[in-house]
């Protein structure tokens, strides 16, 4: 088993108290589903509801549902699930990919600049997803399916980013380990902050910008402060439904099939909703606020690709399996 990240250890420190409240013998309670997402995430939360509805309809799952971090906070979700506090959690991959490094294959920068290909790689039935679940099983976790949130851009206040040189010295907010390594590879200083802190940090100049997907910008009204966004595949992540592998294996076949189909609905319909919200609501809001989106041509992208090669190498080392790493990247590029 890969070592658990520092933040997962810290998150797990309080799990004993929670287990005393919610943990009980198998079959003694209704299954529990939890997420840190709130209903205000217009691009993401509908997918959670689609997943739960499909699992309920096909498998008869009568979930006790805890959104908005009511049961487990963002950093506690997967550790809490592995401790039996929740049975299914919906979580952003960037929070857990340092503890489950195979998930990082879908977060790496510039693996593919074709979003359609990236979507095919994220499909729960893809060879990429099968490889991911083969690796996760050894850590008693199963990925049921997830939404692809779109590529992460670099957003700034004072100047546009057109080359790696423009990143040097900038303090850029990140939400995950791979994002942080990408910012460092480009010469910037990663700053780990929760999204609730972003508006004030940008307003006060504590940070110079951020790396994020479009939803974070609009959900926090950051288009009111940001002035530039460089549109390229600087990173990506998925919002996935996970469960324990042993819990899944203990279920009757029809409930396993229901969870798998719910994962496909989360991927297919949840992502379709997300893309629709981004195209028809979020992008217009960003443009109307006067944010300039910088598009790079092939010559402009090449220096960024070269600079982040170190991020790929670090991920390979973290995974600790060169053959699996190579296979995962080839599958993504060929999807």
For residues 141 and 161, membership in a common domain is answered with no
Number of domains in the chain: 2
The answer to whether residues 195 and 69 touch, using CB atoms and an 8 Å cutoff, is no
3-class DSSP assignment, residue 329: helix
What number is the average pLDDT over the span 112-119?
93
**pLDDT, position 28:** 52
For residues 276 and 314, membership in a common domain is answered with no
187 has pLDDT over 60: yes
**pLDDT, position 189:** 98
4 has pLDDT over 90: no
* Distance of alpha carbon 245 from alpha carbon 268, whole angstroms: 23
**pLDDT, position 194:** 84
277 has pLDDT over 80: yes
For residues 219 and 96, membership in a common domain is answered with no
Phi, psi (rounded to 5 degrees) for 23: -75, 140
**pLDDT, position 173:** 97
pLDDT mean across residues, the chain: 91
For residues 96 and 41, membership in a common domain is answered with yes
User: Is 51 among the domain residues?
Assistant: yes
For residues 184 and 47, membership in a common domain is answered with no
**pLDDT, position 8:** 40
3-class DSSP assignment, residue 58: helix
**pLDDT, position 198:** 95
19 has pLDDT over 80: no
User: Is 293 among the domain residues?
Assistant: yes
Task: Considering only residues 196 and 99, tell me which one the structure prediction assigns the higher pLDDT.
Answer: 99
Which CATH number fits the domain that encloses residue 183?
A: 3.40.190.170
Residue with token string 């309920």: 56
Q: What percent of the chain has pLDDT over 90?
A: 86
**pLDDT, position 9:** 34
User: Is 263 among the domain residues?
Assistant: yes
Domain enclosing residue 318, as ranges = 153-235+289-334
User: Is 59 among the domain residues?
Assistant: yes
**pLDDT, position 195:** 85
**pLDDT, position 62:** 95
**Sheet strand arrangement including 292-295:** 189-192, 171-174, 209-212, 153-156, 228-231, 292-295
7 has pLDDT over 70: no
279 has pLDDT over 80: yes
> Buried b / exposed e across 29-56, counting CB within 10 Å, b at 16+?
eebbbbbbbeeebbbbbbbbebbbebbb
Question: Which of 185, 126, 152 shows the shortest CA–CA distance to 328?
Answer: 126
* Distance of alpha carbon 88 from alpha carbon 311, whole angstroms: 31
User: Is 217 among the domain residues?
Assistant: yes
For residues 42 and 157, membership in a common domain is answered with no
What number is the average pLDDT over the span 136-164?
97
For residues 69 and 177, membership in a common domain is answered with no
Dihedral, 104, 197, 172, 237 alpha carbons, nearest 10 = 20
**pLDDT, position 57:** 98
**pLDDT, position 196:** 85
User: Is 23 among the domain residues?
Assistant: yes
User: Is 205 among the domain residues?
Assistant: yes
Task: Considering only residues 13 and 83, tell me which one the structure prediction assigns the higher pLDDT.
Answer: 83
Q: Which tens digit of pLDDT belongs to each residue from 63-100?
A: 999 999 999 998 899 999 999 999 999 999 988 999 99
Q: Of the given ranges (11-20, 169-178, 206-215), which has the lowest mean pLDDT?
A: 11-20
**pLDDT, position 16:** 40
For residues 131 and 162, membership in a common domain is answered with no
pTM for this predicted structure:
0.88
For residues 170 and 220, membership in a common domain is answered with yes
For residues 161 and 266, membership in a common domain is answered with no
Q: Which tens digit of pLDDT belongs to each residue from 52-64?
A: 999 999 999 999 9
User: Is 1 among the domain residues?
Assistant: no
Residue 168 confidence class, pLDDT cut points 50, 70, 90: very high
For residues 170 and 33, membership in a common domain is answered with no
Between strands 228-231 and 292-295, the pairing is parallel
For residues 196 and 257, membership in a common domain is answered with no
């Amino acid at each position: 088993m890969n070592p658990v990240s520092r933040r997962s250890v810290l998150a797990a420190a309080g799990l004993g108290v929670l287990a005393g409240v919610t943990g009980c013998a198998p079959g003694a309670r209704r299954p529990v589903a939890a997420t840190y997402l709130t209903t205000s995430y217009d691009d993401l939360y509908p997918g959670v509801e689609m997943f739960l509805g499909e699992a309920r309809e096909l498998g008869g799952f009568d979930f006790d549902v805890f959104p908005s971090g009511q049961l487990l906070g963002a950093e506690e979700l997967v550790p809490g699930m592995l401790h039996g506090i929740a049975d299914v959690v919906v979580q952003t991959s960037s929070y857990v990919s340092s503890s489950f490094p195979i998930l990082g294959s879908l977060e790496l920068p510039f693996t593919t600049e074709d979003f359609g290909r990236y979507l095919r790689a994220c499909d729960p039935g893809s060879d990429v997803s099968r490889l991911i679940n083969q690796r996760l099983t050894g850590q008693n976790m199963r990925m049921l399916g997830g939404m692809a949130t779109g590529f992460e851009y670099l957003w700034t206040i004072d100047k546009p980013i057109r080359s790696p040189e423009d990143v040097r010295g900038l303090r850029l907010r990140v939400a995950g380990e791979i994002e942080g390594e990408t910012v460092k590879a480009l010469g910037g200083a990663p700053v780990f902050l929760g999204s609730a802190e972003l508006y004030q940090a940008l307003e006060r100049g504590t940070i110079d910008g951020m790396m994020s997907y479009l939803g974070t910008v609009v959900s926090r009204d950051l288009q009111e402060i940001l002035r530039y966004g460089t549109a390229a595949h600087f990173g990506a992540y998925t919002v996935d439904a996970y469960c324990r592998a042993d819990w899944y294996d203990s279920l009757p076949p029809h409930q396993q099939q229901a969870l798998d189909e719910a994962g496909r609905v989360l991927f297919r319909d949840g992502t379709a909703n997300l893309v629709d919200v981004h195209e028809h609501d979020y992008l217009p809001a960003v443009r109307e606020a006067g944010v300039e989106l910088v598009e790079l041509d092939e010559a402009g992208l090449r220096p960024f690709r070269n600079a982040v090669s170190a991020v790929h190498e670090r991920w390979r080392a973290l995974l600790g399996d060169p053959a699996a790493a190579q296979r995962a990247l080839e599958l993504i590029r060929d999807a």
